[in-house]
């Protein structure tokens, strides 16, 4: 079992729709969770972080965390073509030496 699992996609959504990206993790002692966006040929950039159960909203982005189910998700409202990218889920374990473990990413395509 991979430590951090994501569906590779591609996930295709029409412009203006809600995109829902999911991530599961295997280590129960994980404490911090991050969503990175990576455009083709570019390096990852952080868009959301979450460490408490529940929802965290930032503009069109909402991160959701359920530690009991070991599940973290990212919702993108009013999806735009510029949101088309690969979204990487990353997890930091307690006592993990500040190391992030990344999923392989989900490719999102927002279609006109």
Partner 1 sequence: DVKVTQSSRYLVKRTGEKVFLECVQDMDHENMFWYRQDPGLGLRLIYFSYDVKMKEKGDIPEGYSVSREKKERFSLILESASTNQTSMYLCASRSVGEAYNEQFFGPGTRLTVL
Backbone φ and ψ for 82, nearest 5 degrees, come out as: -70, -10
We find the least distance from the C-beta atom of residue 18 to partner 1, in angstroms, to be 25
Compute the half-sphere exposure of residue 89: CA atoms within 13 Å on the CB side of its CA. Answer: 30
d(CA 16, CA 48): 20
Stretch that binds partner 1, among 9-17, 27-35, 67-75, 77-85 (CB under 8 A): 27-35
Nearer to partner 1, 12 or 104 (CB): 104
SS3 state of residue 81: helix
Task: DSSP letter for 16, please.
Answer: T
Is 35 a binder of partner 1 (CB under 8 A)? no
Is 40 a binder of partner 1 (CB under 8 A)? no
- Tallying the residues shown for the chain, one arrives at 112
Residues 48-107 contacting partner 1, CB under 8 A: 49, 51, 88, 90, 92, 97-105
Quote the tokens at residue 107: 């490719």
Kindly determine how many residues on this chain lie close enough to bind partner 1 according to the rule CB under 8 A.
Answer: 23
| Interface residue list for partner 1 (CB under 8 A) | 8, 31-32, 34, 42-46, 49, 51, 88, 90, 92, 97-105
């Amino acid at each position: 079992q991979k430590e951090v699992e994501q569906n590779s996609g591609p996930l295709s959504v029409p412009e203006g729709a809600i995109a829902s990206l999911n991530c599961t993790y295997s280590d129960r002692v994980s404490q911090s969770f991050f969503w990175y966006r990576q455009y083709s040929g570019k390096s990852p950039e952080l868009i959301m972080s979450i460490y408490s159960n529940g929802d965290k909203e930032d503009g069109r982005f909402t991160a959701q965390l359920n530690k009991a189910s070991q599940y973290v998700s990212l919702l993108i409202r009013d999806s735009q073509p510029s949101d088309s990218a690969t979204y990487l889920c990353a997890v930091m374990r307690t006592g993990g030496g500040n190391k992030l473990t990344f999923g392989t990413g989900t490719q999102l395509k927002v279609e006109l």
